[in-house]
């Protein structure tokens, strides 16, 4: 007989979630933990399946730890630009005239932007528009284009117009597409990138 009982470590309690069309890790964390910043716990539990946290596909079965890990994602922002994610309410918005940096960052993730670029996306939106979804610049490129929204997406004579470009969701999605087309960098298309 052993002089003491040998305790086996208990595996963490988990359950499963079937990904639906339109789901994001951020949204699932909001639903499961009531805190969207706990998405990292879900990502960490599913790294064998999820390669890019901005891309999850319908019908995947994700392991959801019953309790998130205590270290939630906190973006590291450039000097002089310090949004406070934890204090801000969840995003989404259409009628607001100004967004918090956290709402801009959450929109970036929701619309498919990579998490690692979120701090710079927030900074770009701040410098381009002051976080105002309906900001416009009627003198872009010498007056030949007009730029709208958080990310100042051009909707003028040199491009096919994008409907509802001043809607922050549409504007952010266009920014993600532009970012991807530029080789996952802001430096090509945004003049304020050096400020971030």
Predicted confidence band of residue 10 (pLDDT cuts 50, 70, 90)? low
> Is the predicted pLDDT of residue 53 greater than 70, yes or no?
yes
Q: How many whole angstroms from its chain centre is CA 183? A: 18
The yes-or-no answer to whether 14-65 and 85-195 have a common fold is no
- How does residue 43 score in pLDDT terms, banded at 50, 70 and 90? confident
The tokens for 83 are 């949004």
φ, ψ for residue 25, nearest 5 deg = -60, -35
Q: Which pLDDT tens digit goes with each residue over 120-159?
A: 999 888 888 888 887 877 666 666 667 888 888 877 555 5
**Half-sphere CA count of 189, side-chain side, radius 13 A:** 20
Residue 166: how many CB atoms within 10 A of its CB?
17
pLDDT of residue 17: 94
Domain boundaries, the chain: 14-65, 85-195
So what's the architecture of 85-195 in CATH? Orthogonal Bundle (1.10)
pLDDT digits (tens, 9 = 90+) for 70-126: 653 444 444 444 444 434 444 444 445 688 888 888 889 888 899 888 989 998 888
Q: Pick from 106, 67, 104, 73: which is nearest to 196 by CA?
A: 104
pTM score over 0.85: no
- Alpha carbon distance 159, 137 (integer Å): 16
Q: Which CATH architecture has domain 14-65?
A: Roll (3.10)
């Amino acid at each position: 007989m052993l002089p003491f009982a040998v305790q086996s470590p208990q595996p963490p309690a988990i359950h499963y979630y079937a990904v639906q069309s339109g789901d994001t890790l951020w949204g699932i964390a909001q639903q499961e933990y009531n805190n969207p910043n706990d998405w990292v716990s879900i990502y960490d539990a599913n790294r064998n399946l999820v390669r890019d946290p901005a891309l999850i596909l319908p019908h995947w079965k994700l392991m959801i730890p019953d309790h998130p890990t205590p270290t939630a994602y906190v973006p590291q922002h450039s000097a002089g630009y310090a949004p406070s994610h934890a204090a801000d309410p969840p995003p989404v918005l259409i009628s607001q005239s100004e967004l918090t940096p956290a709402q801009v960052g959450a929109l970036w993730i929701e619309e498919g932007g990579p998490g690692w670029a979120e701090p710079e996306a927030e900074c770009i939106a701040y410098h381009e528009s002051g976080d105002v979804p309906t900001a416009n610049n009627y003198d872009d490129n010498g007056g030949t284009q007009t730029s709208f929204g958080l990310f100042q997406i051009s909707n003028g004579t040199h491009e096919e117009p994008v409907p509802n470009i001043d809607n922050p969701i549409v504007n952010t999605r266009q920014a993600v597409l532009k970012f991807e087309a530029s080789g996952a960098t802001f430096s090509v298309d945004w003049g304020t990138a050096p400020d971030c």
